[in-house]
Structure 1
Amino acid sequence: MYSGSPSTSNEISDKEALQNLLLDIQCLDKLSKWSNRFNLFDVLKISGTEIRHSNVLAWLLDPNENHGLGDAVLRRLLQTLVINSPQADVFHSLLMDLYGFTVLREWGHIDLLAVSHEERFLLCIENKVFSGEHDHQLARYQELLEKEYPQYHKIFAFLTPGGTEPEEESACGTWQSISYEQIIEVVEAAKSEKTLSAEVSFFIDQYLDAVRRHIVGDRELEKICREIYAKHRQALDLIYENRPDTASQISSIVQEWCKEKAHTGGISFDPQYSGKAYIRFTTPYMTKLLPEFEEEKSGWNSKSMYYYEVVNYGNSIKVVLTVGRDNLSAHQMDCCEQLSTLLNQPDKKEAWRWKRLFATRRHSIKADPLTDDLHKELFQAMDQYWEQIADFEHKTCTAIEQSSQTLDGNLPV
C-alpha cells in the first residue's frame, strides 16, 4: 500500500489515484520531446559508457583534432581549473601555446592526459561517471606522473557528474574536483566562439544532450517531471515503490532504520534532507561540538553544519561524517580546524567546501533485493556502523578532554 503523506480529509485510495493518472494520461505528452527525440549516443548505446565519454572529451580537448574548435576547449577548461587552484601559476597556465599539447588516452591507465613537452606542463583528468575509485588509483597516478614528469607543472582534475571530492583523503589536497555541468559550460562557450561544420556542430550538440539527460540532468525536463509529479504524486509514488530498483530499496530501508533510531533519541533525522544517494542524520554529541545555525543556511539548506551521510552506491553503502563550510562564522571555522587537527584530518586545501572527518569501509550488499533478506542485512550493517560511530565519538570526546588545555575552550567536552 501507498505509504506517503499522512492521512487527510482529501486522501484518496491507491486505486483512485491510479485511475486519475490514467484519465489525465495526456499530461505525459509533454515528455514526448525527450522520449521521441533521436540521439546518436542513445542509438549506439554508449550514453552510459564511461570510456566513450573519455574518448569524446579527448577529441574535444585536443587542439589539433579535426573539430574546428582549435584550443578553445582546452584553454577554457584550464581557466576553470586555475580559478579554483590557489597553487596554479596563472601566467604559465593561461599564456601557453596550447597547440603543442598531445592528449593521451589510458596512458598508465589514466583516463585523460594532456601533455606539452615544450611548455613542460600536463593536465591529468580522472573521469568517474558510472564507477567509483579503487585501489588508491589517484595516489598511484600522481606518483607515476611525478616520477615520469618531475619538472613539469601539473594540474590534477577529478571529473564526476556532480563535482564530488575524491574518497581518498590524501588526494583531496591535490586533485581538484570538477563537474560535468562545468564541462558542458566549457564546451558550449568554446563552440559559441567558432563557426563549425554542420556535421561537427550536430555531433557536439548530440553529445551535450546525452550528457544532460544521462549524467547532469536537463532542467526543462526536470521542471516538467516535477509538475506531473506534483499533480499525480500518490499514483507515481505507488508505481515507483513497486519498481525493481535496488538503490531505492536500500534508501528506503536505511531511512526506516534512521526513523527507528531517531525514535529512541539516538539521532536526529529529517527525511527532507535525504534522498536515494545520501541519507543524512545528526547525533547529539556531534551537534554539541558543531552547533546548528539559527536558520537554514548550511550547504544543505538546513540548520546543520554537518551530517553523518549514508552513501548509497546501489550495491554497497558506507557512512561518512561531512562538514559544510557555507556561512560558517570565524568561530565555527576555528572549531572545525581544531577538530580536524585533533582527528588527524588536517585541511588539505584552504578553499574546501565539504570536509570529511570520519568514514567507514563500504559494506557490499549480498542479499537478493527481491527478498526480505535485504532488510535484515541493511539493519545489521547500520547497527554495526552505529557502533563505529559511537566508538568514534567516544574517542573524540577522550581526545578533547586530553587536549582541553590547548583548545581555548572552543570545543565542549
Structure 2
Amino acid sequence: MELAITEFSNQLANFFNDWKRIEQQQQDVVQKQLSFEENLGQFFKDWRRVFINDKKLARFFNHYQSDEVQAPILEAKRQGLAVNVWQTAGLKNEEVRHSKVLKWFLDCRGDHGQGNAILLQLLKELPVLEKYQPQRYFATEECCPLGNQESRVDIEIDADEFLLFIEIKINATEGKDQLQRYIDIAQAKAKNRDWLIVYLTRDGKLPERYQSYEKDNKVIALSWKKLSKVLYEYTKGKEVNNRSIWLVKQFADHIKTF
C-alpha cells in the first residue's frame, strides 16, 4: 500500500503545532501557580487531544528503510557527497588550523580559483569596508604587521583601499590587551586608509571595554554562525560540482555549530 507522504507530512506538522500549543498552555498554567498535581493533570488532558496515526507512522519509517529510498542515499554516499573533508582532516576546534583555511578562502591568489569573490562576499557584512571591491591585495595569516613578534594577527588583508585584521577565537578568550594592541597597530599601519578589526568568536560579542570602538566601526564582533551564513550565501546559485564551491559549503557546515 503506497504511503501518502503529503498527508503524513501534514499530520506531522499538525502534531508539532499541537505540541507547541500544549507547551504554551503549560506555561500559562505555571503562571496561574497551579499545584504539581493540577499541572500534571492539565498536561495529560491536553495530550489526549494530540493525535497521530501510529500505523501510518510505522509505514513511513518502513518506507524510509526500503531499497527505493535508500538506494539514492547510498549512491550519494558512494560519490562522497556525505563526507566533510574539514571534519575528517581533524580541524576540530583548533584556531590556527581554522585561520589557515579561512585565509586560503579569502586570498585572491588562492588555488581555489575564486579570486577575490569570497572576500567580497564577506565585505558586504562589514561596516566601512562594504563599499570596497579590491581586485588585488595581500592576505596573510599569523603575521606581524609592524614586525612586533608579540602581536601576531591571525589574518591580515592588506589592500590599497583598506586594512583588515581578523582575530580568531573558538575556545580561547582575549589575551592581555590583545585587541588594544591590534587597534594601535592598525592605526599606525593603515595611515590614511580605512581599517577594521573583526573579532571572530562563538557568541559574536566583544569584551565590554571595546564596545565604544564597535560604535565607531573600528572593531566589530562576528560569530562563527554568522560567518557560515556568509559562506552559504556565496555558494547559492553556483555550480554544485565545482570543487571549490563544495569546499566552501563544507567549511560552512563545519563552523556553523561553533
One-letter identity of the residue aligned with 2:220: Q
SS in 2 for 1:112: strand
Where relative contact order (Cα < 8 A, 6+ residues apart) is larger, the structure is: 2
**Out of 135, 140, 147, which is 2:181 matched to?**
140
Structure 2: runs of 5+ lacking an equivalent: 1-29, 42-72, 145-151
Partners of 2:223 and 2:101 lie apart in 1 by: 16
Q: Is the 8 A contact 1:64 1:70 kept in 2?
A: yes
| Equivalent in the alignment of 1:114 | 157
Percent of aligned pairs sharing the same letter: 24
Partners of 1:147 and 1:188 lie apart in 2 by: 35
Q: Is the 8 A contact 1:111 1:125 kept in 2?
A: yes
| Equivalent in the alignment of 2:88 | 43
One-letter identity of the residue aligned with 1:43: T
One-letter identity of the residue aligned with 1:101: Y
Q: Is the 8 A contact 1:62 1:71 kept in 2?
A: yes
How far 1:47 sits from its partner (Å)? 2.2
| Equivalent in the alignment of 1:188 | 232
Residues 5-154 of structure 1 correspond to what in structure 2 (within 5 A)? 8=37, 38-82=83-127, 88=128, 93-96=130-133, 98-108=134-144, 109-116=152-159, 119-154=160-195
Q: Is the 8 A contact 2:132 2:161 kept in 1?
A: no
| Equivalent in the alignment of 2:204 | 163
Partners of 1:95 and 1:40 lie apart in 2 by: 32
One-letter identity of the residue aligned with 1:65: G
**TM-score normalized with structure 1 length:** 0.38
Structure 1: runs of 5+ lacking an equivalent: 12-32, 83-87, 216-413
Partners of 1:102 and 1:197 lie apart in 2 by: 29
Q: 1:142 to 1:62 in 2, by over 3 A?
A: same
Partners of 1:152 and 1:166 lie apart in 2 by: 25
Q: Is the 8 A contact 1:63 1:71 kept in 2?
A: yes
Q: Is the 8 A contact 1:68 1:194 kept in 2?
A: no
How far 1:172 sits from its partner (Å)? 4.1
Q: Is the 8 A contact 1:69 1:194 kept in 2?
A: no
SS in 2 for 1:176: strand
Partners of 1:65 and 1:195 lie apart in 2 by: 19
SS in 1 for 2:199: strand
Q: Is the 8 A contact 2:118 2:234 kept in 1?
A: yes
**TM-score normalized with structure 2 length:** 0.59
Partners of 2:240 and 2:110 lie apart in 1 by: 13
State the aligned residue count.
178
How far 1:45 sits from its partner (Å)? 2.4
| Equivalent in the alignment of 1:378 | none
How far 1:182 sits from its partner (Å)? 2.2
Residues 327-366 of structure 1 correspond to what in structure 2 (within 5 A)? none
Q: 1:51 to 1:114 in 2, by over 3 A?
A: same
| Equivalent in the alignment of 2:255 | 211
Root-mean-square deviation (CA, aligned residues, Å) is: 3.1
How far 1:38 sits from its partner (Å)? 4.1
Q: Is the 8 A contact 2:153 2:165 kept in 1?
A: yes
Partners of 1:75 and 1:94 lie apart in 2 by: 10
Partners of 1:70 and 1:196 lie apart in 2 by: 18
Residue-by-residue CA offset, 1:121-159 (whole Å, 9 max, x unaligned) = 111111112110121100101112222332222122111
| Equivalent in the alignment of 1:357 | none
SS in 2 for 1:81: coil
How far 1:114 sits from its partner (Å)? 0.4
